[in-house]
């Protein structure tokens, strides 16, 4: 039984991914039961949660997710599309291009409850009361998660929902799929640096994230290196032709080869 946070490292597709094995989460964790506060503190600061049970406790996944939700950790959730611009005066002004089921009076009550007495509030989604409260709360975090059932070798014919991964640490079954799911859930991609005196190759990988652009890759190499760089030549899946010259606002893609110029 894990009684303290144990660090480990997973190397996968040229990336070093730090893993923290924490004590098991139990009911009442947010009140501190079973080292709950320590576990939740690690969970809140993580890029990805692996919520794992064995086959005998396969029905506990929902309870674990609920415990995290109760502690303000929104599993696989997205932050409410709400902009709160606090002002020095002028009262509460509410904007929304979406027809809301909750009234402006309720929105104002929630805002006042969280100390936003003078603010301009822009709501860009059809929002529920819970989501509205989340928008004002400073304690909410939104963390992606994978749900895993381990020891599948003990019950090989077990049927699971499609968003739950099955694996066996004992036999290795499902481990490669598990690693790939981590990679995809973290949104990682590999790009490859091409030196001025080299031909494009896959010798110099850099790990980036989906949504990043070439300028972000340049900064990963070093701030001194990035300074003054305006363009890059690229090869690979996103290049219209080999060695295409592009701006540093070009999004990264898996397998892209890059020479900064």
pLDDT digits (tens, 9 = 90+) for 20-78: 998 888 776 666 666 778 888 899 999 999 999 999 998 899 889 988 998 899 999 99
The tally of CA atoms less than 13 A away on the side-chain side of residue 128 is 4
Strands (E) across 119-201 are located at: 119-123, 141-143, 145-150, 164-166, 188-193
SS (H, E, C) 165-200: EECCCCCCCCHHHHHHHHHHHHCEEEEEECCCCCCC
Residue range 134-186, pLDDT digits in tens: 999 989 999 999 999 999 998 888 888 888 999 999 999 999 999 999 999 99
Instruction: State the average pLDDT over residues 88-105.
Output: 92
d(CA 240, CA 253): 13
Mapped onto helix, strand or coil, the DSSP state of residue 97 is: coil
Task: Enter the pTM of the model.
Answer: 0.85
pLDDT at 158: 82
pLDDT at 109: 95
How many other C-beta atoms can be found within 10 angstroms of the C-beta atom of residue 146? 18
d(CA 88, CA 39): 39
Q: What is the DSSP letter of 213?
A: B
Secondary element (H or E) of residue 223: helix 223-226
Asked if 258 and 233 touch (Cβ cutoff 8 Å), the reply is: yes
Sign, Cα dihedral of 242, 248, 253, 255: positive
């Amino acid at each position: 039984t894990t009684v303290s946070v144990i660090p480990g490292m997973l190397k996968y597709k040229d990336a070093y991914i730090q893993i923290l094995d924490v004590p098991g989460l139990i009911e009442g964790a947010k009140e501190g039961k079973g080292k709950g506060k320590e576990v939740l503190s690690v969970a809140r600061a993580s890029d990805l949660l692996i919520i794992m049970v064995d086959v005998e406790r396969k029905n506990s996944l929902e309870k674990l997710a609920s415990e995290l939700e109760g502690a303000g950790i929104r599993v696989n959730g997205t932050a409410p599309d709400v902009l709160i611009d606090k002002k020095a005066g002028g009262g509460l002004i509410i904007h929304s291009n979406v027809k809301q089921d909750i009234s402006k009076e309720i929105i104002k009550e929630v805002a006042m409850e969280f100390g936003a007495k003078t603010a301009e509030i822009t709501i860009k989604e059809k929002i529920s009361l819970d989501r509205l409260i989340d928008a004002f709360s400073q304690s909410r975090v939104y963390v992606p998660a994978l749900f895993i059932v381990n020891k599948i070798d003990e019950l090989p014919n077990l049927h699971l929902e499609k968003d739950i991964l099955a694996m066996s640490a004992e036999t290795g079954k499902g481990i490669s799929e598990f690693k790939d799911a981590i990679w995809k859930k973290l949104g990682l991609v590999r790009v490859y640096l091409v030196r001025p005196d080299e031909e494009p190759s896959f010798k110099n990988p850099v790990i980036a994230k989906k949504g990043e652009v070439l300028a972000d890759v340049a900064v990963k190499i070093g701030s001194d290196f990035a300074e003054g760089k305006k363009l890059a030549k690229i090869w690979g899946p996103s290049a219209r032709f080999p060695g295409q010259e592009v701006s540093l606002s070009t999004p990264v893609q898996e397998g892209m080869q890059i020479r900064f110029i």
